[in-house]
Structure 1
Amino acid sequence: MDIAIATAVIAVAGTLLGAIVAGRAQQRAAAAAAVAATAQDVRRDQLAAIADLAAAVSDHRRTLWIRQRARAEGVSAERLAELGAECFITRAAVTRPLTVLRVLVVDADVRAAVDRMVEVTFAIRETEWTVEAADAARAAAVVADDDFVEAAGRYLASGTAVHRRELP
């Protein structure tokens, strides 16, 4: 009878231990899946931030360039005021995606490319009032934009496009 009880105790203990091990394995798998899903969400948000900023800066660059060419061509003060108002709107549209990108993307190369793109684009406003100067400033801003997109693409392709901090 003692052997029967010992066998039953071992069987029960084995069943309990198996259930505990299986439960822990499920917990770890669920945690790994949650981390992977969160990382995928962050990567998606980073890509959206990059695309949104590139689009907003492109719109602002175009608006600044049109205004500077209009100044050079001597358009009316009323038309310049309209273009100035458009520039204000497109400039304001840069702020949100720039902020989101700075929060989500910590890569130094991407941030340097962002700073350069924004700086060169905003500098269009300060160019001489000649068509040639406006065109040259726009061309420099397009190159800076391309450099930003390339840096962001390298960052996303590198697989390090998610913060290194602990994900929930």
Structure 2
Amino acid sequence: MDIALAVALVAVAGTLLGSLVSGRAQQRAGLAAVAATATHDTRRAQLDSVTELADAISVHRRALWERQHARARSDYDPEGYTRLTAQCYATRAAVTRPLTALRVLIPDPDVRAAADHMVTVTYAIRDTEHTAAAADKARAEAVTAHDEFVTAAGRYLAQT
């Protein structure tokens, strides 16, 4: 009877130990899946912030350039200029959200600096002389800054 009791105790202990080990393994697998999902979600949010900012700044750059060209024209239309100014306000407002998201989600100083430079150079289009040549030059500088931002962001995202 003592041997039967010992065998039963070993069997029960083995079953309990197996349950504990199995449960712990399932818990670790679940945590790993959650961590992988969180990493994927963060990466998706980072990529979205980069692409949304790049898109919004491109639209704003175009609006500023059109407004500066309209002002430089010999047949200047004050009403058309006012409409283009309102469009610039709307496109500038669209830059704020993705820029904020980028600053929150991407800690890399090179990406942040490139984003800030891109935005600053784009906003500077509005302060150019009222000539087509000045607007074209400012736009070209903003496009270059845009490309530098995309390169810096791509480099960062490739490393993460």
TM-score (norm: length of structure 2): 0.97
Please give the residue correspondences for 1:5-154 in structure 2 after superposition, counting only pairs within 5 Å. Answer: 5-74=5-74, 75-154=76-155
**2:129 counterpart SS class:** coil
Q: Distance in 2 between matches of 1:79 and 1:24?
A: 68
Q: Distance in 2 between matches of 1:115 and 1:34?
A: 33
Q: Which range moved further: 96-105 or 11-20?
A: 96-105
For 1:165, the equivalent position in structure 2 comes to none
Structure 1 residue 49: deviation in Å? 1.0
Relative CO higher for 1 or 2, CA cutoff 8 Å, sep ≥ 6? 1
Q: Distance in 1 between matches of 2:147 and 2:90?
A: 23
Q: Distance in 1 between matches of 2:86 and 2:134?
A: 22
Q: Distance in 1 between matches of 2:124 and 2:62?
A: 13
CA-to-partner distance for each residue in 1:69-94, whole Å, 9 max, x for gaps?
A: 11111411111111111111111111
Letter in 1 for 2:142: A
Aligned residues: 159
Higher share in helix? 2
Letter in 2 for 1:124: I
Letter in 2 for 1:151: A
Identity across aligned pairs (percent)? 62
Structure 1 residue 100: deviation in Å? 1.4
Letter in 1 for 2:56: A
Q: Distance in 1 between matches of 2:22 and 2:49?
A: 40
For 1:166, the equivalent position in structure 2 comes to none
Letter in 2 for 1:72: A
Structure 1 residue 98: deviation in Å? 1.0
**2:136 counterpart SS class:** helix
Q: Distance in 2 between matches of 1:15 and 1:78?
A: 83
TM-score (norm: length of structure 1): 0.92
CA-to-partner distance for each residue in 1:46-68, whole Å, 9 max, x for gaps?
A: 11111111110000000001111
Structure 1 residue 148: deviation in Å? 0.6
Structure 1 residue 146: deviation in Å? 0.4
Letter in 1 for 2:90: I
Structure 1 gaps of 5+ residues are: 160-168
Structure 1 residue 4: deviation in Å? 1.2
